[in-house]
Chain A
Amino acid sequence: MIKIAITKGRIEKQVCQLLSKQGFDMEPIFHKDRELMIETPDGLSMIFAKANDVLTFLEHGIVDVGFVGKDTLEDSDFQDYYEMLDLDIGKCYFAVAAYPGYKDKVFHRRKRIASKYTKVAKDYFNQKQEDVEIIKLEGSVELGPVVGLSDAIVDIVETGSTLKANGLEVIEKISDISTKMIVNKVSLKFKKEEIFDLIYKLKGE
């Protein structure tokens, strides 16, 4: 049996639909109420968790496989897993966004950047050799520039409509995001066939 952790919400829906399309019986999942752990007739044991917790469960070997966005992986300090498959769903990207004037503005102080993804923001500006102050916001990061707390933000951009509605624009794209299948390193060794079977099915092979 493979134990799987899936990020609750949008990723859960998309991954379960994909699995169902590939012939897995996902009815128990589609009809679940508030259960957090469900076994499917095909022998998949699934738990549903917040994105960061999917990584925590995988790190501790509670689950063999995790489905999680690249955004979560990039902002985590835990890197000791295999990132085997890009599911090509949940596509969006990390970007720096600000008011249009940001590009040409001369700053005589450290820029302030608001982000939920502090590691991604830090790595990006480090690599540009730009020293900035990063302020962590937990949600609606666009508020940073809107209320004047920060000069720009680093955030996930999907359609860009929230940015636009608040007068902000993408200054620079940082990296692509999509949903990934990650695997615990020890699990892969003991459950090679089962895990590759899942991979082939997800790839539609």
Chain B
Amino acid sequence: MEEFKYLIPEESIDAIMNNVSKLRDIENDLRHIFVEHGYLEVLMPSFEYVELYNDMDIGIDEEKMFQYINYEGKRVALRVDFTVPLARLYSSQKENGEKRYCYFGKVYRKEKRHKGRSSEFFQAGIELLGKAGVAGDLECLELVLETMQCLRLKTLRIEMGSAQFYNRLVEIVDDEKFVNILKRRDLSAMKDFVESHHFDSHLHDLLLMLPQAFGDIQVLYQVQSLIDDPLLKEAIEECIHLYQQSKMKDILTFDLAMTPMMKYYTGIMLKGYSPYSAEPIMNGGRYDKLMNHFQRQVPAIGFSYDLSHILKALEKEEEA
């Protein structure tokens, strides 16, 4: 067994040596801004009950969790996400007031071997609990804008979607096949789908253009002209309002075909992209229903940067 002194398990990522100081600089800049805005840094535990995650329907399969059975016979997993444990932390407090938390740390997700995938992700993010609607959305957006400068990436794009728009559309279309078609942005299947239903002409046109309903603010105006439903209208108007209020108009884009990664999203959803990262470098959104799992009605919004992806993108951007 001599060789194992020299090897690391396949689940491990290689030690990061080259850019640790850069990573720490970014982390510290983010921390500084979060704290300045009143976000309390929380060091979260590494182990959580698998049941906690499963009950919340967070969209991460059980098989992705590093698990063991503890002395109670309960399944325990290495932390796979920060939002759910932070929601629990909030619920442990007696009053429902505004709370601001920020966190830095790794999440762990099992991956298939030999695919070049990583099982550890270093995240930095915030959760803003108890601040509803546009006021909360704006605070979150402004924080994204301010912290994005810390990432040192030259080309960045923030994209906004709406879970309210998506949820209402799924309700109107009322056919389970639709969700899968939209997720895949399958133009061929969408055409067949629309042709096999008798939607009114506006909905018909909307569904056909939906897979490409992303880009700058014009997309929202285009879609706005095709909808009559009050809830859909409200969702679009909210996005337009946020755009008008926002100070980052030049990098803010929209995607009305964005499907919620997690079922608990209820309002706006956010993603951040670099052309040098094959995956989003930032994810977030409003999740007003998550706290219902803890018998509380608390509006909430949050986002997190994936510093592992950001570091890789930085290296690639420098090479380019």
Contacts and interface: CB of A to CB of B under 8 A. Distances in A.
Nearest to B185: A82
Interface stretch (B27-35, B42-50, B208-216): B208-216
A84 B185 contact: yes
Contact count band on A: 20 to 34
A86 B188 contact: yes
Contact of B253 (A61, A80, A186, A189): A189
A196 B212 contact: yes
A88 B189 CA distance: 12
Nearest to A87: B188
A84 B185 CA distance: 5
B278 A59 contact: yes
A84 B186 contact: yes
Contacts of A85: 186-188
Interface string A167-201: 00000000000000001111011101000100100
Nearest to A203: B187
B275 A82 contact: no
Contacts, number: 56
Interface of A, helix, strand, loop or mixed by DSSP = mixed
Contact count band on B: 20 to 34
A190 B157 contact: yes
Interface in A57-72: 59-61
A186 B188 contact: no
A61 B316 CA distance: 12
A59 B189 CA distance: 23
B157 A189 contact: yes
Given A86-B189, A192-B215, A186 B184 contact: no
A184 B188 contact: no
A96 B116 CA distance: 33
Contacts of B214: 189, 192
A86 B273 CA distance: 27
Contacts of A184: 278
B10 interface: no
Contacts of B212: 192, 196
A84 B159 CA distance: 20
Nearest to B180: A83
B315 interface: no
Contacts of B147: none
Interface string A66-109: 00000000000110101111101000000000000000000000
Q: Which 5 A-B residue pairs are closest in the complex by CB-CB distance?
A: A61-B278, A86-B188, A83-B184, A82-B185, A190-B275
Interface of A: 56, 59-61, 77-78, 80, 82-86, 88, 183-186, 188-190, 192, 196, 199, 203
